[in-house]
């Protein structure tokens, strides 16, 4: 059973959306300190101000570009020297590129893969060895339902989330082969009602997930060392149905339910909002 109380918790993309909400819930659970990595200074300032008004202390925020492995190593060195080992790491930062594959530029594709895959792997790489040394640690990787079922108009994103889901489960097996209290939870949610998926139309039987609900599920998963979080619950049927139905029949059903048209009116966040100018570290 992983303990959030008295733990050092680091959340990437932790200054907005479910990252911010997860951070607040970890503080409510009695986390020793919360470490926020985010690339948006305005969101960092707003989050620190909000947490301060609510009486939370020991919150540290770093402006980190997780698409840059050098920046990850710089910030990780600061965290390890100034704060100490990370007990719970939540790899939450991610971006979406909507549109048909041939509409993406090389920069679009590289950005999605560098943040969603490289950022997750390199962030984990710089902290996992200390977890192994202390024989304690929990890594939470926010993948996606897109790592279970493919979809149109999000092929680069799907590629990144299939990669994260597979890597995360491999990491789980590797850590479980070692001595100690080491855990990995892979989270695969459908569309969440945040700005990241602005404009999507939720498929039939798969309503938009509310941030409160999915973050409650993640907190619970950490506490009981749950291996996978699939939400909504019907998502758990997808691997079975894909294994039973011929591909064309599965495609017909998914299309009928509106899965394959769900991204037709996708807007998402603007690139400037997602990747603003980089600045500094801040502390509460």
> What gap in Å lies between CA 193 and CA 271, rounded to an integer?
19
Contact between 138 and 88 under an 8 Å Cβ cutoff? The reply is yes
For residue 143, the tally of other CB atoms under 10 A from its CB is 28
Question: Is 157 a known active-site residue?
Answer: yes
Backbone angles phi, psi at 262, to 5 degrees: -65, -25
In the set 56, 60, 157, 260, the catalytic residue is 157
Alpha helices for 181-266 (secondary structure H)? 211-224, 238-244, 247-256
Cβ neighbors of 145 (< 8 A, separation 6 or more) are 188, 189, 190, 191, 206, 230, 235, 238
CA angle 217, 222, 223 (to 5 degrees): 100
The length of the chain is 284
Contact between 140 and 88 under an 8 Å Cβ cutoff? The reply is yes
Q: Which positions are annotated as active-site residues?
A: 157
């Amino acid at each position: 059973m992983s303990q959030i109380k008295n733990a050092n918790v680091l959340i990437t993309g932790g200054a907005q959306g479910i990252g911010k909400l997860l951070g607040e819930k970890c503080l409510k659970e009695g986390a020793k300190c919360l470490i926020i990595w985010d690339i948006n200074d305005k969101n960092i300032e707003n989050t620190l101000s909000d947490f301060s008004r609510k009486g939370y202390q020991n919150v540290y925020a770093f402006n980190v570009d997780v698409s840059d492995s050098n920046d990850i190593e710089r910030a990780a060195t600061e965290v390890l020297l100034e704060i100490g080992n990370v007990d719970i790491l939540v790899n939450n930062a991610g971006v979406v590129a909507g549109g048909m594959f041939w509409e993406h530029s090389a920069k679009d594709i590289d950005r999605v893969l560098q943040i969603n895959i490289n950022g997750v792997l390199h962030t984990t790489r710089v902290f996992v060895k200390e977890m192994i040394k202390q024989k304690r640690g929990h890594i939470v990787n926010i993948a996606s339902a897109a790592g279970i079922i493919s979809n149109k108009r999000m092929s680069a994103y799907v590629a990144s989330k299939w990669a994260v889901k597979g890597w995360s489960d491999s990491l789980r097996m590797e850590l479980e082969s070692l001595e100690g209290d080491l855990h990995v939870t892979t989270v695969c949610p459908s569309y969440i009602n945040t700005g990241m998926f602005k404009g999507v139309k939720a498929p039939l039987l798969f309503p938009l997930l509310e941030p409160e609900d999915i973050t409650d599920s993640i907190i619970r998963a950490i506490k009981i060392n749950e291996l996978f979080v699939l939400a909504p619950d019907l998502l758990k049927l997808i691997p079975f149905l894909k294994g039973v139905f011929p591909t064309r029949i599965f495609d017909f059903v998914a299309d009928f339910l509106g899965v394959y048209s769900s991204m037709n009116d996708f807007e998402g966040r603007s690139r400037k909002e997602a990747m603003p100018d980089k600045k500094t570290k801040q502390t509460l």
